[in-house]
Amino acid sequence: MKIVESLKWRYATKKFDPNKKLTPIQVDGILQVLNLTPTSYGLQPLKFLRIVNPEIREELVSASWNQRQVTDASDLIVICIENRFTEEDVDQFINRTASKRNEDAKTPRYDSFKKMLMKIVDWSKDDYQNWARKQAYIALGNLMTACAVEQIDACPMEGFDAKKYDEILGLDKLDLSSVLVCPIGFRSEDDRNSQLAKIRKEHHEIVIEIN
Protein backbone atom coordinates (compact mmCIF):
# COMPACT_ATOMS: atom_id res chain seq x y z
CA MET A 1 0.00 0.00 0.00
CA LYS A 2 1.16 3.50 -0.86
CA ILE A 3 0.42 4.76 2.63
CA VAL A 4 2.90 2.27 4.12
CA GLU A 5 5.62 3.82 1.97
CA SER A 6 4.55 7.28 3.15
CA LEU A 7 4.69 6.18 6.79
CA LYS A 8 8.15 4.71 6.26
CA TRP A 9 9.23 8.04 4.72
CA ARG A 10 8.11 10.11 7.70
CA TYR A 11 10.10 10.46 10.89
CA ALA A 12 10.04 12.75 13.90
CA THR A 13 11.93 15.64 12.33
CA LYS A 14 14.54 17.17 14.61
CA LYS A 15 15.91 19.81 12.26
CA PHE A 16 13.69 21.76 9.91
CA ASP A 17 14.82 23.95 7.03
CA PRO A 18 13.65 27.42 8.13
CA ASN A 19 13.60 28.62 4.50
CA LYS A 20 11.11 26.04 3.28
CA LYS A 21 7.48 27.04 3.87
CA LEU A 22 4.18 25.29 3.36
CA THR A 23 2.06 26.79 0.58
CA PRO A 24 -1.25 28.44 1.61
CA ILE A 25 -3.02 25.44 0.04
CA GLN A 26 -1.01 23.04 2.21
CA VAL A 27 -1.71 25.10 5.34
CA ASP A 28 -5.41 25.17 4.56
CA GLY A 29 -5.42 21.42 3.85
CA ILE A 30 -3.69 20.62 7.14
CA LEU A 31 -6.16 22.77 9.09
CA GLN A 32 -9.01 20.95 7.34
CA VAL A 33 -7.42 17.62 8.28
CA LEU A 34 -7.43 18.69 11.93
CA ASN A 35 -11.08 19.70 11.77
CA LEU A 36 -11.96 16.44 9.99
CA THR A 37 -10.46 14.38 12.82
CA PRO A 38 -13.14 12.08 14.22
CA THR A 39 -13.86 12.53 17.92
CA SER A 40 -16.08 10.72 20.40
CA TYR A 41 -19.73 11.52 19.48
CA GLY A 42 -18.24 14.14 17.13
CA LEU A 43 -18.12 16.64 19.98
CA GLN A 44 -14.68 18.08 19.08
CA PRO A 45 -13.69 19.42 22.55
CA LEU A 46 -10.56 20.83 20.88
CA LYS A 47 -8.99 23.95 19.45
CA PHE A 48 -6.05 24.03 17.08
CA LEU A 49 -3.71 26.99 17.38
CA ARG A 50 -1.49 27.95 14.48
CA ILE A 51 1.24 30.11 15.96
CA VAL A 52 2.42 32.52 13.31
CA ASN A 53 4.06 35.31 15.35
CA PRO A 54 7.88 34.72 15.28
CA GLU A 55 8.50 36.47 18.63
CA ILE A 56 5.96 34.23 20.34
CA ARG A 57 7.53 31.18 18.72
CA GLU A 58 10.95 32.26 19.99
CA GLU A 59 9.48 32.65 23.49
CA LEU A 60 8.09 29.11 23.28
CA VAL A 61 11.53 27.54 22.71
CA SER A 62 12.58 27.63 26.37
CA ALA A 63 9.17 26.17 27.28
CA SER A 64 9.84 23.35 24.78
CA TRP A 65 12.99 21.86 26.30
CA ASN A 66 14.88 24.16 23.90
CA GLN A 67 13.67 22.16 20.92
CA ARG A 68 14.36 24.41 17.95
CA GLN A 69 11.75 22.79 15.73
CA VAL A 70 9.35 25.25 17.36
CA THR A 71 10.94 28.20 15.55
CA ASP A 72 12.48 26.52 12.51
CA ALA A 73 9.51 24.64 11.12
CA SER A 74 7.29 26.39 8.63
CA ASP A 75 4.24 26.14 10.87
CA LEU A 76 3.62 25.47 14.52
CA ILE A 77 0.42 23.77 15.60
CA VAL A 78 -0.62 23.54 19.25
CA ILE A 79 -3.45 21.13 19.97
CA CYS A 80 -5.56 22.30 22.92
CA ILE A 81 -8.55 21.02 24.82
CA GLU A 82 -11.43 23.19 25.91
CA ASN A 83 -11.30 23.29 29.71
CA ARG A 84 -15.00 22.67 30.24
CA PHE A 85 -17.99 21.22 28.50
CA THR A 86 -21.38 22.78 29.21
CA GLU A 87 -25.05 22.39 28.39
CA GLU A 88 -24.58 25.24 25.93
CA ASP A 89 -22.00 23.11 24.07
CA VAL A 90 -24.46 20.22 23.94
CA ASP A 91 -27.23 22.47 22.59
CA GLN A 92 -24.90 23.98 20.02
CA PHE A 93 -23.84 20.51 18.85
CA ILE A 94 -27.41 19.25 18.62
CA ASN A 95 -28.61 22.35 16.78
CA ARG A 96 -25.72 22.15 14.34
CA THR A 97 -26.39 18.46 13.67
CA ALA A 98 -30.13 18.95 13.18
CA SER A 99 -29.62 21.99 10.98
CA LYS A 100 -26.98 20.34 8.74
CA ARG A 101 -29.22 17.33 8.31
CA ASN A 102 -32.38 19.40 7.74
CA GLU A 103 -33.99 17.92 10.81
CA ASP A 104 -35.96 19.38 13.70
CA ALA A 105 -33.90 19.52 16.91
CA LYS A 106 -37.07 19.46 19.02
CA THR A 107 -37.92 15.78 18.67
CA PRO A 108 -37.89 12.92 21.20
CA ARG A 109 -34.92 11.42 19.35
CA TYR A 110 -32.83 14.56 19.81
CA ASP A 111 -34.12 14.93 23.40
CA SER A 112 -32.76 11.51 24.33
CA PHE A 113 -29.50 12.25 22.46
CA LYS A 114 -29.18 15.41 24.56
CA LYS A 115 -29.84 13.46 27.74
CA MET A 116 -27.01 11.09 26.85
CA LEU A 117 -24.57 13.92 26.07
CA MET A 118 -25.51 15.72 29.29
CA LYS A 119 -23.80 12.86 31.15
CA ILE A 120 -20.48 14.28 29.91
CA VAL A 121 -21.46 17.71 31.32
CA ASP A 122 -21.94 15.98 34.69
CA TRP A 123 -18.54 14.29 34.69
CA SER A 124 -15.87 15.52 37.11
CA LYS A 125 -13.42 18.06 35.66
CA ASP A 126 -10.68 15.37 35.67
CA ASP A 127 -12.81 12.79 33.88
CA TYR A 128 -13.87 15.32 31.27
CA GLN A 129 -10.33 16.59 30.67
CA ASN A 130 -8.87 13.07 30.44
CA TRP A 131 -11.48 12.23 27.83
CA ALA A 132 -10.82 15.45 25.92
CA ARG A 133 -7.06 14.77 25.97
CA LYS A 134 -7.65 11.43 24.26
CA GLN A 135 -9.41 13.28 21.47
CA ALA A 136 -6.36 15.55 21.13
CA TYR A 137 -4.16 12.51 20.49
CA ILE A 138 -6.48 11.35 17.71
CA ALA A 139 -5.97 14.73 16.05
CA LEU A 140 -2.20 14.36 16.42
CA GLY A 141 -2.29 10.91 14.77
CA ASN A 142 -4.43 12.19 11.96
CA LEU A 143 -2.08 15.13 11.46
CA MET A 144 1.02 12.90 11.37
CA THR A 145 -0.50 10.58 8.79
CA ALA A 146 -1.83 13.40 6.61
CA CYS A 147 1.57 15.10 6.67
CA ALA A 148 3.26 11.84 5.65
CA VAL A 149 0.89 11.35 2.72
CA GLU A 150 1.52 14.93 1.57
CA GLN A 151 5.32 14.64 2.11
CA ILE A 152 5.25 17.32 4.77
CA ASP A 153 7.62 16.76 7.69
CA ALA A 154 6.41 16.93 11.28
CA CYS A 155 7.55 16.35 14.82
CA PRO A 156 4.93 15.28 17.35
CA MET A 157 5.86 16.79 20.72
CA GLU A 158 4.91 16.15 24.30
CA GLY A 159 8.23 17.57 25.42
CA PHE A 160 7.08 21.00 26.50
CA ASP A 161 5.88 22.75 29.63
CA ALA A 162 2.13 23.00 29.11
CA LYS A 163 1.66 25.53 31.94
CA LYS A 164 4.24 27.86 30.40
CA TYR A 165 2.66 27.46 26.97
CA ASP A 166 -0.74 28.33 28.45
CA GLU A 167 0.77 31.46 30.03
CA ILE A 168 2.67 32.61 26.94
CA LEU A 169 -0.32 32.02 24.66
CA GLY A 170 -2.86 33.50 27.09
CA LEU A 171 -4.89 30.29 27.03
CA ASP A 172 -6.52 30.88 30.43
CA LYS A 173 -8.52 33.71 28.91
CA LEU A 174 -9.68 31.38 26.15
CA ASP A 175 -10.46 28.63 28.67
CA LEU A 176 -8.10 26.26 26.86
CA SER A 177 -5.19 24.00 27.90
CA SER A 178 -2.37 23.00 25.59
CA VAL A 179 -1.92 19.23 25.22
CA LEU A 180 0.33 18.62 22.22
CA VAL A 181 2.64 20.57 19.98
CA CYS A 182 3.46 19.78 16.37
CA PRO A 183 5.87 21.76 14.23
CA ILE A 184 5.38 21.00 10.54
CA GLY A 185 7.44 21.95 7.50
CA PHE A 186 10.34 20.45 5.60
CA ARG A 187 13.41 18.62 6.86
CA SER A 188 16.81 20.22 6.78
CA GLU A 189 19.23 18.42 4.45
CA ASP A 190 21.58 17.86 7.37
CA ASP A 191 19.02 16.44 9.83
CA ARG A 192 20.90 13.34 10.98
CA ASN A 193 17.67 11.77 12.17
CA SER A 194 16.41 11.49 8.60
CA GLN A 195 19.12 8.88 8.00
CA LEU A 196 18.39 6.73 11.05
CA ALA A 197 16.85 3.31 10.62
CA LYS A 198 13.24 3.14 11.69
CA ILE A 199 12.84 1.26 14.97
CA ARG A 200 9.68 -0.79 15.28
CA LYS A 201 8.79 -4.12 16.84
CA GLU A 202 8.61 -7.16 14.59
CA HIS A 203 5.18 -7.98 13.21
CA HIS A 204 4.82 -11.03 15.49
CA GLU A 205 5.65 -8.97 18.57
CA ILE A 206 2.93 -6.41 18.02
CA VAL A 207 0.13 -8.23 16.20
CA ILE A 208 -1.85 -11.06 17.74
CA GLU A 209 -4.24 -12.92 15.54
CA ILE A 210 -7.10 -14.59 17.31
CA ASN A 211 -8.76 -17.20 15.16
Q: Does 186 bind ligand FMN (CB under 6 A)?
A: no
Q: How far is the CB of 71 from ligand FMN (least distance, A)?
A: 14
Nearer to ligand FMN, 90 or 157 (CB): 157
Interface mask toward ligand FMN for 61-90; x: CB under 6 A = ------x-----------------------
Nearer to ligand FMN, 89 or 161 (CB): 161
Q: How far is the CB of 101 from ligand FMN (least distance, A)?
A: 35
Q: How far is the CB of 93 from ligand FMN (least distance, A)?
A: 27
Give CA–CA dist 142/121, Å, rounded. 26
Which positions ≥6 away from 193 have C-beta within 8 Å?
Answer: 11, 12, 13, 14, 15
Q: Does 198 bind ligand FMN (CB under 6 A)?
A: yes
Q: Is 82:46 a contact under the CB 8 Å cutoff?
A: yes
List 90, 157, 176, 182, residue binding ligand FMN (CB under 6 A): 157
Q: Report the greatest alpha carbon distance in the chain.
A: 61
Binding span for ligand FMN by CB under 6 A among 10-18, 50-58, 103-111, 163-171? 10-18
Strand order in the sheet with 153-154: 46-51, 75-82, 176-185, 153-154
Q: How far is the CB of 58 from ligand FMN (least distance, A)?
A: 18
List 5, 91, 158, 175, residue binding ligand FMN (CB under 6 A): 158
Binding span for ligand FMN by CB under 6 A among 11-19, 87-95, 100-108, 109-117? 11-19
For 21, 26, 37, 169, 211, the CA distances from 74, given in Å and listed in that order, are: 5, 11, 22, 19, 47
Give CA–CA dist 176/162, Å, rounded. 11
Give CA–CA dist 88/118, Å, rounded. 10
What are the E-state strand segments in 21-112? Answer: 46-51, 75-82
> Rule CB under 6 A: which residues touch ligand FMN?
11-12, 14, 67, 155-159, 198
